[in-house]
Chain A
Amino acid sequence: MTNETPLAIDVRGLVKSFGGRRVVDDFSMRIPEGKIFGFLGPNGSGKTTTLRMLCGLLTPDAGEGTCLGLDLRNQAPLIKRQTGYMTQKFSLYEDLTIRENLEFVARLYEMDKRGERVDSALRDLGLYSRRDQQTGTLSGGWKQRLALTACILHEPRLLLLDEPTAGVDPTARRDFWDEIHTLAGRGITVLVSTHYMDEAERCHEIVYIAYGKLLASGTSDEIIDGTKLFTWRAHGPDADRLAGQLRGKDGVEMAVAFGADLHVSGTDEAALEAAIQPFRGTGKLNWHPTKPTLEDVFIHLTAGSKDNFS
């Protein structure tokens, strides 16, 4: 991270517990302005909770830091004005029309030229002709796009998006990501949580969290290289069927089928080779070492942290 770019998010040691359970534990993160950061981790790992702390919806039990240079604890109202937060669950009013929802947002932020702005947002979105339709009648993909429009209407400097593309079809997802890159190009900082690996690859950097603890961060290459994971790929007929036989062998931490391929990974290079040795002579299969994918790394990291956690 360069020192010249100011940090949009700079938090240290965030902790949040619910009923005595630490849901976010000693979480630190620095995001320079204008970057897109992917926020990954299994369900229930504390992503939503972290995003809520960043935009002032939850008070951290411990920790400190700034968002957009404003103090997380004392200046939450000011942070809210310049932040757009898209909730995981669709949270616009379904009984209001599309237009009424956007006008409501525009008024709450006390924006000027509201009518004009709302109209132009509706045109950009392609919903101008359907503006008087009740929001609840929109399809999932349209709801996501409308929600994004609503949270960038007030021209925030920071966007916190919580699984914005969950359950949306691939084309809509690609359009959505094009839009996010356009926004980042204008200098807006984006922190977006997701479960999709292809989306993770489209982020400048990735933050990986599991069971409330930050496990890895950096670019996708940095994370892959930093994990010291070795992977062999088997290619050939029925390669994926070997997964069951390889799992549980010494040196094999995971054996995952990717289509017709099999990825076998472990941290001990020698033990891993020894483990796959009996299967290499069978001729039909093509074995070669390969760079682990982000997914391999995340599965590995999650498995490791689960052992620590329990």
Chain B
Amino acid sequence: MRRLLSITRLVAMLMKEFNHMRRDRTTLGMMIGVPLIQLTLFGFAINTDPKALPTAIYSADTSAYTRDFTAALVNTGYFEIVTEARSREDVDGMLTRGQVQFAVTIPANFTRDLIRGERPEILVEADATDPVATGSAISALQQVKQSVFDRDLKGVSLARAPAPPAFDVIIHRRYNPENITQYNIVPGLMGVVLTMTLVMITGLAVTRERERGTMENLLAMPVRPMEVMLGKIIPYVIVGYVQATIILIAASVLFHVPVEGSVMLLSAAAILFMVANLAVGFTFSTIAQNQLQAVQMTFFFFLPSLLLSGFMFPFRGMPQWAQVLGEALPLTHFLRIARGILLKGSTFTDIAADLLGITAFVIVATAIAMTRYRQTLD
């Protein structure tokens, strides 16, 4: 009698919601139209200049010269050495997981070759999935290359200014070698569109019932909160899938965004992300008195998501407090997941931490929704 969920009642809610959806052509059109419009609008990049990007250094040679080089890197303000890698595999792992934006590899015998004037090479690998974030830092590298050893090498080598630099810096843009901004924007757009439309649509779906008075009838019948919530969420997961598919197809057809990783994995992560947003919308609907308030709340949630998730501005360019806020938002995690899977070919273990972040969010949002949801009109 007091089961949490009855399948028959859940089916009743689902069929009802599908029928509403079917007849509400405007909303349906919006759900399909928004991704298309957004795709067109965000076809260009937003430029910024983030500093102190996390950098790993792998030094197979240590000398006064390599220390000077490292110091000069840090002095540009763009790099912050966060870790010393112990092997090349280490470096690769850190880049894939997104722990660092840059990895600097100083080869063995660097000092010897430098003194001999053999122009040794330093390898700088950049995680270029977010080209905006790495662009300025890479320009700064060129400066370092020109000037760092001018003083040190004066007495040793025959080099005189202006002379070609005593060594080369090889830059590898990993994952997005051509540095194409759309590669970064388009997968992110999937998260942004889902956030905006799904939060709003569930918020509206419940407040509409309250405004039209149908909530009173619904509550007078033996339907349980979980059934109402799932009934309002599941149909829109399907809508979300249609949106995500449109964007993915556009991503590969229009912008030729590569799909390196598993589409299945991305789909699974997308479900979780959609549920997170729908739970937010449902929570809003338990607070909002009418549809206008539901829309306003949606924007309260959407704007920080847009600004702090790393979609608009490179995440690492943001101040610490903003990064902390950003970590709490599901979009932040989903952006990393989507970019990771599409551009880097990330696997489950690579995205596990971000999945966990979204899961935590879903749990908190659902708990709030369920405690806020009233089975009475009080």
Q: Are A77 and B214 in contact (CB under 8 A)?
A: no
How far, in whole Å, are A55 and B218 apart by their CA atoms in the complex?
Answer: 12
Given A52-B377, A87-B213, A107 and B19 contact (CB-CB distance below 8 Å): no
Question: Which stretch (A88-96, A281-289, A291-299) binds chain B?
Answer: A88-96
Closest B residue to A154 by CB, please name it. Answer: B221
CA–CA, A23 to B24, complex, Å?
38
Let me know if A270 is at the binding interface, CB within 8 A: no
Compute how far the CA of A52 lies from the CA of B376 in the bound complex, rounded to whole angstroms.
9
Contact between chains at B376 and A58 (CB < 8 Å): yes
Instruction: Give the number of A-B contacts (CB < 8 Å).
Output: 78
Chain A: which residue is nearest B217 at the CB level? A91
Nearest-Cβ distance from residue A152 to partner chain B, whole angstroms: 13
Cross-chain contact B16 with A104 (CB below 8 angstroms): yes
Once the chains are docked, how many angstroms separate the CA of A288 from the CA of B153? 129
Q: Are A110 and B8 in contact (CB under 8 A)?
A: yes
Given A57-B377, A59-B376, A110-B6, does the pair A81, B222 have CB atoms closer than 8 Å? yes
Contact with A along B203-231 (1 / 0, CB 8 A): 00000000011101101111100000000
Verify A57–B216 contact, CB threshold 8 A.
Answer: yes
Bits for A116-140, please: 1 = Cβ < 8 Å to B, else 0. 0000000000000000001000000
A96 to B2 Cα, complex, angstroms = 29
**With A77-B2, A81-B222 in contact, do A104 and B23 touch (Cβ < 8 Å)?**
no
Q: How many angstroms from the CA of A85 to the CA of B216 in the assembled complex?
A: 9
Among A80, A81, A107: residue with most chain B CB under 10 A: A107
- Taking CB atoms, residues of chain A closer than 8 Å to B2 are 77
Contact of B221 among A58, A78, A93, A108 (CB under 8 A): A108
B19→A87 contact, CB < 8 A: no
B11 at the interface (CB under 8 A from A): yes
* Cα-based distance from A218 to B212 in the complex (angstroms): 36
- B316 at the A interface (CB under 8 A): no
**How many residues of A are counted as interface, with CB atoms below 8 angstroms from the partner's CB atoms?**
31
For B, the interface residue count at a CB cutoff of 8 angstroms equals 27
Q: How far is the CB of A70 from chain B (nearest CB, A)?
A: 12
Instruction: Kindly supply a per-residue 1/0 record for chain A positions 239-280, scoring 1 wherever the CB is within 8 Å of any chain B CB and 0 otherwise.
Output: 000000000000000000000000000000000000000000
Which residues 1-58 of B have a CB within 8 angstroms of A?
Answer: 1-2, 6, 8-9, 11-12, 15-16, 19-20, 23-24
- With A57-B376, A100-B19 already in contact, the answer to whether A93 and B214 are too (CB < 8 A) is yes
Q: Is the CB of B213 within 8 A of A91?
A: yes
Q: Which of B357-378 contact A (CB under 8 A)?
A: 375-378
Contact B16 A92 (CB under 8 A): no
Query: Do B8 and A107 touch (CB < 8 A)?
Result: yes
Residues of A within 8 Å of B213, CB to CB, are: 87, 89-91
Q: Taking the nearest CB of chain A, how far is it from the CB of B120, in angstroms?
A: 73
Partner of A107, one of B9, B23, B216, B378: B9
A109 contacts partner chain B, Cβ-Cβ < 8 Å? yes
Bound CA–CA A105/B220 (angstroms): 11
Chain B: minimal CB distance from A268 (Å): 45
Whether A109 contacts B221 in the complex (CB less than 8 A), given A52-B377, A56-B376, A57-B376, comes out as yes
Chain B contacts of A57 at CB under 8 A? Answer: 216, 219-220, 376-377
Contact assessment for A95 and B222 in the assembled complex, using a CB-CB cutoff below 8 Å: no
A104 contacts across to B, CB distance below 8 A: 12, 15-16
Within 8 Å by CB of B223, from A52, A87, A93, A108, lies A108
Q: What mask results when residues 112 to 136 of chain B are scored 1 for a CB within 8 Å of chain A, else 0?
A: 0000000000000000000000000
Chain A residues within 8 Å of B, Cβ to Cβ:
52, 55-59, 76-78, 80-81, 83, 85, 87, 89-96, 100, 103-105, 107-110, 134
Q: Could you jot down 29 A-B contacts, CB within 8 Å?
A: A52-B377, A57-B220, A57-B376, A57-B377, A58-B376, A59-B378, A77-B1, A80-B221, A81-B222, A85-B220, A87-B216, A87-B217, A90-B213, A91-B213, A91-B217, A92-B217, A93-B16, A93-B214, A96-B16, A100-B15, A104-B16, A105-B221, A107-B9, A107-B11, A107-B15, A108-B12, A109-B222, A110-B9, A134-B23
